[in-house]
Chain A
Amino acid sequence: MNIVSQEHQKSGQQSTEQTAYVTPNVDIQAAESGYVLYAEMPGVNRDGIRITVEDGNLVLVGHRQPLSASGEALHRETRQLSYRRVYELDPSIDANRISARIDQGILTVNLPKAENLKPRRITLE
């Protein structure tokens, strides 16, 4: 837990330096065991991902790898800014068990519910 809050301090300083971000498109799927969040961050690899949890907020930041294309731009639609999105975490989510991975620009974050909050069947004695 200490490691997580230290990480946040660092990324918090970064976020005050850079004011403009791109908001990634996100899908969230709900299941009995928790939620799975998918964020589109093309151009970001695992070194560029910063995920922090503080004060009940989940902060997702993705820094892009520099685009390697030579010459002048004839046409531009992509915005070479970092991605950022913040969600308020539901208290049922176990922040210590959040896990994430990134594959081809899709950041997948698993947000499991705390064990004692999962629906369970009580058997009679």
Chain B
Amino acid sequence: MNIIRYHNQGRSDLAQAFDRFAVLRDELDRLFDHSFSPVFRTPGSFSRWAPALDVYQDKDQFTVVAELPGLKKEDVELSLHDGVLTISGERKQEKKGEEGYRNERFFGRFQRSVPLPASVDGNKVKATYQDGILKVVLPKAEEAKPKQIEVSVD
């Protein structure tokens, strides 16, 4: 089986060139996110890989979304401490074949921490895992929600 990445499926040379740039850009984005972002840090010293992660906010809650394909529900650990959500766990390899022909995926332990910009109600945090996507919904604490203050005129 040839394992050359094969892009010219009826597409122009230019489109193929851009494909290659897109791949390179992906890799650079990952590298920079993981190396220099002081807020969303990954403890590279003891984990070999880290999942891609998004954080969303509306007026009531934060939603953290992490791409974690191929895990079991029980292999994911979540903790909330001092306003920092930590997602960690371990990805185990599927049944090993006789020989690895091509290996691009990462296995082993991972950990990422997300400092939340406002306080959340730790008792109401909900997490779901579907199609390899972990979604954690963290409702904001009452005091962190925006409030309308009425101005009274004497």
Residues of A within 8 A of B (CB): 12, 15-16, 19-23, 25-32, 35-36, 38, 40-45, 57, 59, 65, 67-79, 85-90, 92-93, 103-106, 108, 111
Contacts and interface: CB of A to CB of B under 8 A. Distances in A.
A66 B38 CA distance: 29
A88 B4 CA distance: 7
Contacts of B132: 40-44, 104-106
Interface residues of B, number: 58
Given A20-B22, A29-B101, A69-B65, A111 B15 contact: no
B143 interface: no
Interface in B88-117: 94, 96-106, 117
B58 A78 contact: no
B97 to A, nearest CB: 3
A77 B53 contact: yes
Contacts of B99: 29-31
Contacts of B129: 104
Interface stretch (B6-14, B78-86, B145-153): B6-14
Given A42-B131, A70-B58, A70-B63, A30 B6 contact: no
